[in-house]
Structure 1
Amino acid sequence: MSYKLLILEDNTLLLQTLEDFLSEYAYACTLVKSGKEALEACFQNTFDLYLVDVKVPDMSGFEFLQALRHSGDRTPAIFITSLNDQESVAKGFLAGGDDYIKKPFDLHELLLRIKAILARTKGIVDDWLIIDNDYKLNLARKRLFKGTTELDLNLKDFELLYLLVKDRGHVVTKEMIHQHLWSSSEEINEGSIRVYINNLKKIFGKEAIVNIRGIGYRFEK
Protein backbone atom coordinates (compact mmCIF):
# COMPACT_ATOMS: atom_id res chain seq x y z
CA MET A 1 0.00 0.00 0.00
CA SER A 2 1.21 3.50 -0.79
CA TYR A 3 0.79 6.24 1.82
CA LYS A 4 0.81 9.85 0.71
CA LEU A 5 3.31 12.23 2.28
CA LEU A 6 3.58 15.99 1.85
CA ILE A 7 7.18 17.15 2.29
CA LEU A 8 7.73 20.87 2.95
CA GLU A 9 11.46 21.61 2.62
CA ASP A 10 13.23 24.46 0.78
CA ASN A 11 16.57 22.63 0.45
CA THR A 12 16.38 21.08 -3.01
CA LEU A 13 19.03 18.44 -2.35
CA LEU A 14 17.42 17.26 0.90
CA LEU A 15 13.97 17.34 -0.69
CA GLN A 16 15.14 15.05 -3.50
CA THR A 17 17.02 12.80 -1.07
CA LEU A 18 13.88 12.33 1.04
CA GLU A 19 11.78 11.54 -2.03
CA ASP A 20 14.33 9.04 -3.40
CA PHE A 21 14.63 7.29 -0.03
CA LEU A 22 10.94 7.19 0.93
CA SER A 23 9.78 6.14 -2.54
CA GLU A 24 11.82 2.96 -2.09
CA TYR A 25 9.45 2.10 0.76
CA ALA A 26 6.33 2.78 -1.35
CA TYR A 27 5.55 6.26 0.03
CA ALA A 28 4.10 8.64 -2.55
CA CYS A 29 5.69 12.04 -1.96
CA THR A 30 4.41 15.49 -2.91
CA LEU A 31 7.25 18.02 -2.74
CA VAL A 32 6.80 21.72 -1.91
CA LYS A 33 9.29 24.45 -1.02
CA SER A 34 7.16 27.15 0.61
CA GLY A 35 4.37 27.43 3.14
CA LYS A 36 2.02 28.85 0.52
CA GLU A 37 2.66 25.92 -1.85
CA ALA A 38 2.11 23.52 1.04
CA LEU A 39 -1.25 25.03 1.97
CA GLU A 40 -2.43 24.91 -1.64
CA ALA A 41 -1.40 21.26 -1.89
CA CYS A 42 -3.31 20.43 1.31
CA PHE A 43 -6.46 22.17 0.10
CA GLN A 44 -6.35 20.20 -3.17
CA ASN A 45 -5.34 16.75 -1.83
CA THR A 46 -5.47 14.57 1.25
CA PHE A 47 -2.29 13.20 2.81
CA ASP A 48 -1.46 10.56 5.41
CA LEU A 49 1.42 12.49 6.97
CA TYR A 50 3.25 15.81 6.73
CA LEU A 51 7.05 16.24 6.93
CA VAL A 52 7.61 19.90 7.69
CA ASP A 53 10.75 22.03 7.74
CA VAL A 54 10.37 25.11 9.95
CA LYS A 55 12.45 27.78 8.18
CA VAL A 56 10.75 28.01 4.77
CA PRO A 57 9.54 30.93 2.57
CA ASP A 58 6.14 32.68 2.96
CA MET A 59 5.43 31.36 6.44
CA SER A 60 7.25 29.17 8.94
CA GLY A 61 6.50 25.48 9.25
CA PHE A 62 4.96 26.24 12.65
CA GLU A 63 2.57 28.79 11.08
CA PHE A 64 1.73 26.38 8.24
CA LEU A 65 0.71 23.60 10.61
CA GLN A 66 -1.17 25.97 12.92
CA ALA A 67 -3.23 27.15 9.93
CA LEU A 68 -4.12 23.55 9.12
CA ARG A 69 -4.99 22.71 12.71
CA HIS A 70 -7.25 25.79 12.93
CA SER A 71 -9.06 24.57 9.79
CA GLY A 72 -9.71 21.20 11.45
CA ASP A 73 -6.95 19.23 9.69
CA ARG A 74 -5.64 16.56 12.09
CA THR A 75 -3.23 14.84 9.69
CA PRO A 76 -0.13 13.82 11.69
CA ALA A 77 3.01 15.89 11.18
CA ILE A 78 6.72 15.54 11.87
CA PHE A 79 8.85 18.68 12.06
CA ILE A 80 12.31 18.38 10.48
CA THR A 81 14.52 21.31 11.41
CA SER A 82 17.94 22.59 12.40
CA LEU A 83 16.34 24.43 15.34
CA ASN A 84 17.30 22.31 18.32
CA ASP A 85 16.63 24.49 21.36
CA GLN A 86 13.96 23.46 23.84
CA GLU A 87 11.83 26.52 23.07
CA SER A 88 11.59 25.55 19.39
CA VAL A 89 10.82 21.93 20.25
CA ALA A 90 8.03 23.06 22.57
CA LYS A 91 6.72 25.45 19.91
CA GLY A 92 6.58 22.61 17.40
CA PHE A 93 4.43 20.44 19.63
CA LEU A 94 2.22 23.38 20.63
CA ALA A 95 1.68 24.09 16.92
CA GLY A 96 0.19 20.61 16.58
CA GLY A 97 3.21 18.53 15.63
CA ASP A 98 3.30 14.82 16.47
CA ASP A 99 7.08 14.45 16.39
CA TYR A 100 10.22 16.56 16.03
CA ILE A 101 13.47 15.41 14.44
CA LYS A 102 16.61 17.55 14.41
CA LYS A 103 18.96 17.99 11.44
CA PRO A 104 21.18 16.28 10.58
CA PHE A 105 19.26 13.04 10.98
CA ASP A 106 19.50 9.42 9.90
CA LEU A 107 17.04 8.52 7.13
CA HIS A 108 16.25 5.15 8.67
CA GLU A 109 15.44 6.82 11.98
CA LEU A 110 13.00 9.08 10.12
CA LEU A 111 11.45 6.01 8.49
CA LEU A 112 10.92 4.40 11.89
CA ARG A 113 9.26 7.56 13.20
CA ILE A 114 6.95 7.69 10.16
CA LYS A 115 5.94 4.05 10.64
CA ALA A 116 5.36 4.60 14.37
CA ILE A 117 3.05 7.56 13.78
CA LEU A 118 1.08 5.77 11.07
CA ALA A 119 0.75 2.76 13.37
CA ARG A 120 -0.63 4.96 16.12
CA THR A 121 -2.93 7.18 14.05
CA LYS A 122 -4.20 4.71 11.45
CA GLY A 123 -4.03 1.41 13.30
CA ILE A 124 -1.30 0.12 10.98
CA VAL A 125 0.80 -2.59 12.62
CA ASP A 126 3.38 -4.03 10.23
CA ASP A 127 1.20 -5.13 7.28
CA TRP A 128 -2.12 -4.93 9.14
CA LEU A 129 -4.70 -2.15 9.23
CA ILE A 130 -6.95 -2.66 12.25
CA ILE A 131 -10.61 -1.76 11.64
CA ASP A 132 -12.05 -2.71 15.05
CA ASN A 133 -11.87 -5.54 17.59
CA ASP A 134 -13.21 -8.02 15.03
CA TYR A 135 -12.01 -6.92 11.59
CA LYS A 136 -8.58 -6.15 10.14
CA LEU A 137 -7.01 -5.79 6.70
CA ASN A 138 -3.85 -7.59 5.67
CA LEU A 139 -2.21 -4.96 3.45
CA ALA A 140 0.46 -7.23 1.98
CA ARG A 141 -1.97 -9.96 0.91
CA LYS A 142 -4.93 -7.59 0.32
CA ARG A 143 -7.27 -9.71 2.42
CA LEU A 144 -9.97 -8.96 4.99
CA PHE A 145 -10.06 -11.00 8.19
CA LYS A 146 -12.65 -11.39 10.91
CA GLY A 147 -10.58 -12.71 13.78
CA THR A 148 -8.49 -15.43 12.17
CA THR A 149 -11.04 -16.16 9.43
CA GLU A 150 -10.38 -14.80 5.95
CA LEU A 151 -13.51 -13.32 4.34
CA ASP A 152 -14.39 -13.49 0.67
CA LEU A 153 -13.65 -10.06 -0.81
CA ASN A 154 -12.69 -9.19 -4.37
CA LEU A 155 -9.82 -6.81 -5.10
CA LYS A 156 -11.95 -3.76 -5.91
CA ASP A 157 -13.96 -4.29 -2.70
CA PHE A 158 -10.71 -4.46 -0.77
CA GLU A 159 -9.25 -1.32 -2.36
CA LEU A 160 -12.46 0.63 -1.66
CA LEU A 161 -12.61 -0.63 1.94
CA TYR A 162 -8.96 0.31 2.48
CA LEU A 163 -9.62 3.81 1.15
CA LEU A 164 -12.67 4.26 3.40
CA VAL A 165 -11.00 2.90 6.53
CA LYS A 166 -7.79 4.88 5.98
CA ASP A 167 -9.83 8.10 5.92
CA ARG A 168 -12.34 6.89 8.51
CA GLY A 169 -14.69 9.64 9.69
CA HIS A 170 -13.93 11.80 6.63
CA VAL A 171 -15.78 11.92 3.32
CA VAL A 172 -14.10 9.93 0.55
CA THR A 173 -15.20 11.63 -2.64
CA LYS A 174 -16.17 9.84 -5.84
CA GLU A 175 -13.16 11.44 -7.51
CA MET A 176 -10.86 9.88 -4.88
CA ILE A 177 -12.50 6.50 -5.45
CA HIS A 178 -12.06 6.80 -9.21
CA GLN A 179 -8.38 7.63 -8.84
CA HIS A 180 -7.74 4.81 -6.36
CA LEU A 181 -9.74 1.98 -7.98
CA TRP A 182 -9.23 2.57 -11.68
CA SER A 183 -6.20 3.26 -13.81
CA SER A 184 -6.32 6.00 -16.44
CA SER A 185 -6.81 3.36 -19.17
CA GLU A 186 -9.80 1.70 -17.47
CA GLU A 187 -13.40 2.72 -18.01
CA ILE A 188 -15.09 3.99 -14.84
CA ASN A 189 -18.48 2.51 -14.03
CA GLU A 190 -20.56 4.47 -11.51
CA GLY A 191 -22.82 1.48 -10.99
CA SER A 192 -19.82 -0.62 -9.95
CA ILE A 193 -19.10 1.70 -7.03
CA ARG A 194 -22.62 1.16 -5.69
CA VAL A 195 -22.14 -2.60 -6.02
CA TYR A 196 -18.85 -2.48 -4.10
CA ILE A 197 -20.41 -0.28 -1.40
CA ASN A 198 -23.31 -2.72 -1.02
CA ASN A 199 -20.88 -5.63 -0.77
CA LEU A 200 -19.14 -3.88 2.14
CA LYS A 201 -22.44 -2.99 3.82
CA LYS A 202 -23.35 -6.70 3.82
CA ILE A 203 -20.26 -7.29 5.96
CA PHE A 204 -20.23 -4.22 8.23
CA GLY A 205 -23.90 -3.23 8.25
CA LYS A 206 -25.78 -0.47 6.44
CA GLU A 207 -24.96 2.12 9.10
CA ALA A 208 -21.20 1.62 8.77
CA ILE A 209 -20.98 3.46 5.43
CA VAL A 210 -22.82 6.76 5.02
CA ASN A 211 -23.74 7.96 1.53
CA ILE A 212 -23.06 11.70 1.17
CA ARG A 213 -25.37 12.35 -1.76
CA GLY A 214 -23.59 13.56 -4.87
CA ILE A 215 -20.22 13.71 -3.12
CA GLY A 216 -19.05 10.33 -1.83
CA TYR A 217 -19.04 8.05 1.21
CA ARG A 218 -17.91 8.06 4.84
CA PHE A 219 -16.91 5.01 6.89
CA GLU A 220 -18.13 5.33 10.50
CA LYS A 221 -17.65 1.90 12.05
Structure 2
Amino acid sequence: MSYKILILEDNTLLLQTLEDFLGGHDYICTLVSSGKEALKQCYENKYDLYLLDVKVPDLSGFDFLKELRASGDRTPAIFVTSLSDQESLTKGFMLGGDDYIKKPFDLSELLLRIKALLARAKGIVDDWLEIDDAYKLNLARKRLFHNQEELDINLKDFELLYLLVKERGKVVTKEMIHERLWSSSEEINEGSIRVYINNLKKIFGKDSILNIRGIGYRFEK
Protein backbone atom coordinates (compact mmCIF):
# COMPACT_ATOMS: atom_id res chain seq x y z
CA MET A 1 0.00 0.00 0.00
CA SER A 2 1.46 3.36 -1.06
CA TYR A 3 1.63 6.23 1.39
CA LYS A 4 0.35 9.66 0.41
CA ILE A 5 2.53 12.69 1.15
CA LEU A 6 1.59 16.37 0.91
CA ILE A 7 4.65 18.50 0.07
CA LEU A 8 4.46 22.23 0.82
CA GLU A 9 7.40 23.98 -0.87
CA ASP A 10 7.63 27.15 -3.00
CA ASN A 11 10.92 26.26 -4.68
CA THR A 12 9.75 24.73 -7.97
CA LEU A 13 12.98 22.87 -8.64
CA LEU A 14 13.10 21.32 -5.17
CA LEU A 15 9.41 20.46 -5.37
CA GLN A 16 9.96 18.56 -8.61
CA THR A 17 13.08 16.88 -7.23
CA LEU A 18 11.17 15.64 -4.19
CA GLU A 19 8.30 14.36 -6.31
CA ASP A 20 10.67 12.47 -8.63
CA PHE A 21 12.68 10.99 -5.78
CA LEU A 22 9.81 10.00 -3.50
CA GLY A 23 7.70 8.84 -6.43
CA GLY A 24 10.54 6.49 -7.30
CA HIS A 25 10.12 4.95 -3.84
CA ASP A 26 6.37 4.39 -4.33
CA TYR A 27 5.13 7.42 -2.41
CA ILE A 28 2.20 9.32 -3.90
CA CYS A 29 2.95 13.04 -3.70
CA THR A 30 0.68 16.07 -3.83
CA LEU A 31 2.63 19.26 -4.56
CA VAL A 32 1.59 22.71 -3.32
CA SER A 33 3.50 25.98 -3.16
CA SER A 34 1.37 28.05 -0.77
CA GLY A 35 0.01 27.50 2.71
CA LYS A 36 -3.59 28.25 1.76
CA GLU A 37 -3.51 25.77 -1.11
CA ALA A 38 -2.04 23.15 1.25
CA LEU A 39 -4.87 23.77 3.70
CA LYS A 40 -7.44 23.39 0.92
CA GLN A 41 -5.91 20.08 -0.14
CA CYS A 42 -5.98 18.76 3.44
CA TYR A 43 -9.66 19.57 3.85
CA GLU A 44 -10.44 17.66 0.64
CA ASN A 45 -7.98 14.74 0.82
CA LYS A 46 -6.29 12.39 3.27
CA TYR A 47 -2.53 12.14 3.69
CA ASP A 48 -0.17 9.93 5.66
CA LEU A 49 2.57 12.53 6.10
CA TYR A 50 3.28 16.23 5.55
CA LEU A 51 6.60 17.67 4.32
CA LEU A 52 6.48 21.37 5.15
CA ASP A 53 8.65 24.30 4.22
CA VAL A 54 8.18 27.18 6.65
CA LYS A 55 8.67 30.28 4.49
CA VAL A 56 5.91 29.92 1.88
CA PRO A 57 3.29 32.37 0.51
CA ASP A 58 -0.11 33.11 2.07
CA LEU A 59 0.27 30.95 5.18
CA SER A 60 3.55 29.82 6.71
CA GLY A 61 4.30 26.15 7.32
CA PHE A 62 4.08 26.88 11.04
CA ASP A 63 0.63 28.46 10.77
CA PHE A 64 -0.53 25.72 8.41
CA LEU A 65 0.32 22.99 10.91
CA LYS A 66 -1.10 25.01 13.81
CA GLU A 67 -4.43 25.21 11.96
CA LEU A 68 -4.49 21.46 11.31
CA ARG A 69 -3.52 20.46 14.84
CA ALA A 70 -6.28 22.73 16.19
CA SER A 71 -8.77 20.84 14.00
CA GLY A 72 -7.63 17.50 15.43
CA ASP A 73 -5.39 16.42 12.52
CA ARG A 74 -2.52 14.34 13.94
CA THR A 75 -0.91 13.38 10.62
CA PRO A 76 2.90 13.12 11.04
CA ALA A 77 4.73 16.25 9.85
CA ILE A 78 8.35 16.97 8.97
CA PHE A 79 9.58 20.53 8.57
CA VAL A 80 12.03 20.94 5.67
CA THR A 81 13.53 24.36 6.31
CA SER A 82 16.52 26.65 6.06
CA LEU A 83 15.76 27.95 9.56
CA SER A 84 18.30 26.67 12.04
CA ASP A 85 17.97 28.86 15.13
CA GLN A 86 16.84 27.14 18.30
CA GLU A 87 13.80 29.39 18.70
CA SER A 88 12.39 28.40 15.30
CA LEU A 89 13.05 24.71 15.84
CA THR A 90 11.40 24.83 19.25
CA LYS A 91 8.37 26.61 17.77
CA GLY A 92 8.02 23.92 15.12
CA PHE A 93 7.93 21.14 17.70
CA MET A 94 5.60 23.08 20.01
CA LEU A 95 3.12 23.49 17.15
CA GLY A 96 3.01 19.74 16.62
CA GLY A 97 5.87 19.00 14.23
CA ASP A 98 7.31 15.50 14.56
CA ASP A 99 10.72 16.03 12.94
CA TYR A 100 12.74 18.50 10.90
CA ILE A 101 15.55 18.43 8.37
CA LYS A 102 17.67 21.46 7.46
CA LYS A 103 18.27 22.67 3.93
CA PRO A 104 20.37 21.72 2.07
CA PHE A 105 19.82 18.05 2.85
CA ASP A 106 20.60 14.63 1.49
CA LEU A 107 17.63 12.90 -0.13
CA SER A 108 18.58 9.54 1.38
CA GLU A 109 18.50 11.08 4.86
CA LEU A 110 15.05 12.52 4.18
CA LEU A 111 13.85 9.10 3.04
CA LEU A 112 15.12 7.51 6.25
CA ARG A 113 13.32 10.13 8.34
CA ILE A 114 10.08 9.57 6.41
CA LYS A 115 10.30 5.80 6.83
CA ALA A 116 11.07 6.12 10.54
CA LEU A 117 8.16 8.48 11.16
CA LEU A 118 5.69 6.35 9.24
CA ALA A 119 6.92 3.23 11.05
CA ARG A 120 6.34 5.01 14.37
CA ALA A 121 2.86 6.02 13.22
CA LYS A 122 2.00 2.40 12.44
CA GLY A 123 1.41 1.97 16.16
CA ILE A 124 -1.95 3.67 15.65
CA VAL A 125 -2.67 2.52 12.08
CA ASP A 126 -4.78 -0.38 13.37
CA ASP A 127 -7.15 1.89 15.29
CA TRP A 128 -10.42 0.62 13.82
CA LEU A 129 -14.09 1.42 14.33
CA GLU A 130 -16.43 -1.27 13.04
CA ILE A 131 -19.67 -0.19 11.40
CA ASP A 132 -20.94 -3.72 10.72
CA ASP A 133 -19.56 -7.06 9.56
CA ALA A 134 -18.54 -5.63 6.19
CA TYR A 135 -17.65 -1.97 6.80
CA LYS A 136 -15.09 -0.44 9.14
CA LEU A 137 -13.24 2.83 9.61
CA ASN A 138 -9.49 3.16 10.03
CA LEU A 139 -9.38 6.15 12.36
CA ALA A 140 -5.65 6.83 12.18
CA ARG A 141 -5.46 6.96 8.39
CA LYS A 142 -9.02 8.22 7.91
CA ARG A 143 -10.03 5.47 5.51
CA LEU A 144 -13.28 3.53 4.95
CA PHE A 145 -12.99 -0.16 4.12
CA HIS A 146 -15.54 -2.61 2.74
CA ASN A 147 -14.17 -5.98 3.78
CA GLN A 148 -10.50 -5.58 2.75
CA GLU A 149 -11.08 -3.02 0.00
CA GLU A 150 -10.48 0.69 0.60
CA LEU A 151 -13.35 2.86 -0.63
CA ASP A 152 -12.74 6.25 -2.19
CA ILE A 153 -14.43 8.88 -0.02
CA ASN A 154 -13.27 12.41 0.66
CA LEU A 155 -12.16 13.66 4.06
CA LYS A 156 -15.38 15.44 5.00
CA ASP A 157 -17.43 12.37 4.07
CA PHE A 158 -15.19 10.39 6.41
CA GLU A 159 -15.48 12.89 9.28
CA LEU A 160 -19.27 13.01 8.96
CA LEU A 161 -19.50 9.21 8.81
CA TYR A 162 -17.28 8.88 11.88
CA LEU A 163 -19.51 11.30 13.79
CA LEU A 164 -22.70 9.48 12.75
CA VAL A 165 -21.31 6.03 13.62
CA LYS A 166 -19.91 7.20 16.95
CA GLU A 167 -23.34 8.61 17.85
CA ARG A 168 -25.24 5.70 16.27
CA GLY A 169 -28.90 5.70 17.31
CA LYS A 170 -28.69 9.30 18.51
CA VAL A 171 -29.46 12.52 16.66
CA VAL A 172 -26.35 14.28 15.38
CA THR A 173 -27.26 17.97 15.29
CA LYS A 174 -26.20 20.38 12.57
CA GLU A 175 -24.15 22.23 15.18
CA MET A 176 -22.20 19.05 15.94
CA ILE A 177 -21.58 18.57 12.21
CA HIS A 178 -20.40 22.16 11.80
CA GLU A 179 -17.94 21.76 14.66
CA ARG A 180 -16.58 18.47 13.30
CA LEU A 181 -16.31 19.32 9.61
CA TRP A 182 -15.29 22.96 9.50
CA SER A 183 -12.45 24.82 11.19
CA SER A 184 -12.92 28.31 12.59
CA SER A 185 -11.39 29.85 9.44
CA GLU A 186 -13.60 27.94 6.98
CA GLU A 187 -16.95 29.13 5.69
CA ILE A 188 -19.75 26.73 6.62
CA ASN A 189 -21.80 25.51 3.66
CA GLU A 190 -25.21 24.09 4.54
CA GLY A 191 -25.68 22.68 1.05
CA SER A 192 -22.45 20.72 1.37
CA ILE A 193 -23.85 18.75 4.32
CA ARG A 194 -26.65 17.43 2.11
CA VAL A 195 -24.08 16.46 -0.52
CA TYR A 196 -22.00 14.56 2.07
CA ILE A 197 -25.11 12.83 3.43
CA ASN A 198 -26.10 11.75 -0.08
CA ASN A 199 -22.56 10.47 -0.72
CA LEU A 200 -22.85 8.24 2.35
CA LYS A 201 -26.34 7.06 1.38
CA LYS A 202 -24.92 5.88 -1.96
CA ILE A 203 -22.64 3.58 0.01
CA PHE A 204 -24.93 2.40 2.82
CA GLY A 205 -28.38 2.78 1.27
CA LYS A 206 -30.98 5.56 1.23
CA ASP A 207 -32.53 4.41 4.52
CA SER A 208 -29.22 4.29 6.39
CA ILE A 209 -29.37 7.93 7.50
CA LEU A 210 -32.58 9.48 8.81
CA ASN A 211 -33.13 13.21 8.34
CA ILE A 212 -34.52 14.78 11.52
CA ARG A 213 -36.02 17.89 9.93
CA GLY A 214 -34.55 21.14 11.20
CA ILE A 215 -32.34 19.37 13.74
CA GLY A 216 -29.87 16.94 12.15
CA TYR A 217 -29.40 13.30 11.19
CA ARG A 218 -29.38 9.84 12.74
CA PHE A 219 -27.41 6.82 11.50
CA GLU A 220 -29.75 3.83 11.26
CA LYS A 221 -27.50 1.11 9.82
Superposition TM-score, scaled by structure 2 size: 0.61
Partner Cα separation in structure 2 for residue 117 and residue 37 of structure 1: 24
Give the C-alpha shift of residue 211 in structure 1: 11
Taking the TM superposition and a 5 Å limit, the aligned residue runs for 1:168-179 are 168=140, 170=142, 172=144, 177-179=150-152
Tell me the residue number matched to 1:103. 103
Evaluate the alpha carbon distance shift between residue 168 and residue 57 of structure 1 in structure 2; reply closer, same or farther with a 3 A threshold.
closer
Evaluate the alpha carbon distance shift between residue 4 and residue 173 of structure 1 in structure 2; reply closer, same or farther with a 3 A threshold.
same
Partner Cα separation in structure 2 for residue 211 and residue 27 of structure 1: 35
Give the C-alpha shift of residue 168 in structure 1: 3.9
Give the SS at the match of 1:68.
Answer: helix
Partner Cα separation in structure 2 for residue 105 and residue 13 of structure 1: 14
Gaps of 5+ in 1: 133-156, 181-208
Tell me the residue number matched to 2:175. none
Give the SS at the match of 1:118.
Answer: helix
Evaluate the alpha carbon distance shift between residue 45 and residue 90 of structure 1 in structure 2; reply closer, same or farther with a 3 A threshold.
same
Identity within the alignment, %: 64
Evaluate the alpha carbon distance shift between residue 57 and residue 168 of structure 1 in structure 2; reply closer, same or farther with a 3 A threshold.
closer
Tell me the residue number matched to 2:115. 115
Give the C-alpha shift of residue 42 in structure 1: 0.1
Give the C-alpha shift of residue 9 in structure 1: 0.1
Superposition TM-score, scaled by structure 1 size: 0.61
Gaps of 5+ in 2: 128-133, 154-164, 169-196, 205-221
Instruction: Tell me if structure 1 keeps the 8 A contact 2:143–2:151.
Output: no
Partner Cα separation in structure 1 for residue 22 and residue 167 of structure 2: 35
Query: Deviations along 1:7-59, whole A, 9 cap, x unmatched?
Result: 00000000000000000110000000000000000000000000000000001
Question: Which amino acid is 1:50 matched to?
Answer: Y
Partner Cα separation in structure 2 for residue 169 and residue 108 of structure 1: 25
Tell me the residue number matched to 1:37. 37
Counting matched residue pairs gives: 154
Tell me the residue number matched to 1:135. none
Tell me the residue number matched to 1:202. none
Taking the TM superposition and a 5 Å limit, the aligned residue runs for 1:1-221 are 1-123=1-123, 131=126, 164-165=137-138, 167-168=139-140, 170=142, 172=144, 177-179=150-152, 214=200
Give the C-alpha shift of residue 179 in structure 1: 3.6
Evaluate the alpha carbon distance shift between residue 91 and residue 2 of structure 1 in structure 2; reply closer, same or farther with a 3 A threshold.
same
Partner Cα separation in structure 1 for residue 65 and residue 94 of structure 2: 10
Give the C-alpha shift of residue 169 in structure 1: 7.8
Structure 1's consecutive aligned runs of 4 or more residues displaced over 3 angstroms after TM superposition are 167-171, 176-180, 209-217
Partner Cα separation in structure 2 for residue 67 and residue 168 of structure 1: 18
Question: Which amino acid is 1:25 matched to?
Answer: H
Evaluate the alpha carbon distance shift between residue 15 and residue 169 of structure 1 in structure 2; reply closer, same or farther with a 3 A threshold.
closer
Partner Cα separation in structure 2 for residue 168 and residue 95 of structure 1: 19
Tell me the residue number matched to 2:181. none
